[in-house]
Amino acid sequence: MQTNDIGLTRRDYEGTLTTLCGGCGHDSISAAIIQAAAEMSLEPHRVAKISGIGCSSKIPSYFLSKAHGFNSVHGRMPSVATGANIANKELYYVGVSGDGDSASIGLGQFCHIVRRRINMLYIVANNGTYGLTKGQLSATADLGSRTKSGEESQFDNIDMATLAIELGASFVARSFSGDKKQLIPLLQAGLSHKGFAFIDVISPCVTFNNTDFSTHGYKNTWENYVALSEIDFVPMREEITTSYGAGKEKEITLHDGSAIHLHKTSNDYDPSDKENALHHINEYKKQGKIATGLLYINQSSSDLHELQETVDRPLNSLGDQELCPGSKALNDINNTFR
Residues in contact with another protein by the rule CB under 8 A: 18, 21-25, 27-28, 30-31, 177-178, 180, 204, 206-207, 210, 218-219, 222-223
Query: Among residues 163 and 202, whose Cβ is nearest to another protein?
Result: 202
Q: Which DSSP category does 287 fall into? A: T
Rounded CA-CA distance 264/239 in Å is 22
Rounded CA-CA distance 242/306 in Å is 34
Query: Among residues 25 and 60, whose Cβ is nearest to another protein?
Result: 25
In angstroms, what is the minimal distance from the CB of 258 to another protein? 23
In angstroms, what is the minimal distance from the CB of 118 to another protein? 29
Note whether 175 and 199 are within 8 A (CB): yes
Query: Among residues 20 and 67, whose Cβ is nearest to another protein?
Result: 20
- DSSP output for 95-156: EEEEHHHHHTTTHHHHHHHHHTT-SEEEEEEE-SEEGGGT-EE-TTSPTT-B-TT-PBP-SP
Rounded CA-CA distance 222/219 in Å is 5
In angstroms, what is the minimal distance from the CB of 10 to another protein? 9
Rounded CA-CA distance 224/221 in Å is 5
In angstroms, what is the minimal distance from the CB of 216 to another protein? 13
Rounded CA-CA distance 106/160 in Å is 12
Residues 6+ apart with CB under 8 A from 247: 264
Query: Among residues 137 and 202, whose Cβ is nearest to another protein?
Result: 202
Query: Among residues 118 and 206, whose Cβ is nearest to another protein?
Result: 206
In angstroms, what is the minimal distance from the CB of 51 to another protein? 19
In angstroms, what is the minimal distance from the CB of 38 to another protein? 13
Query: Among residues 149 and 302, whose Cβ is nearest to another protein?
Result: 149
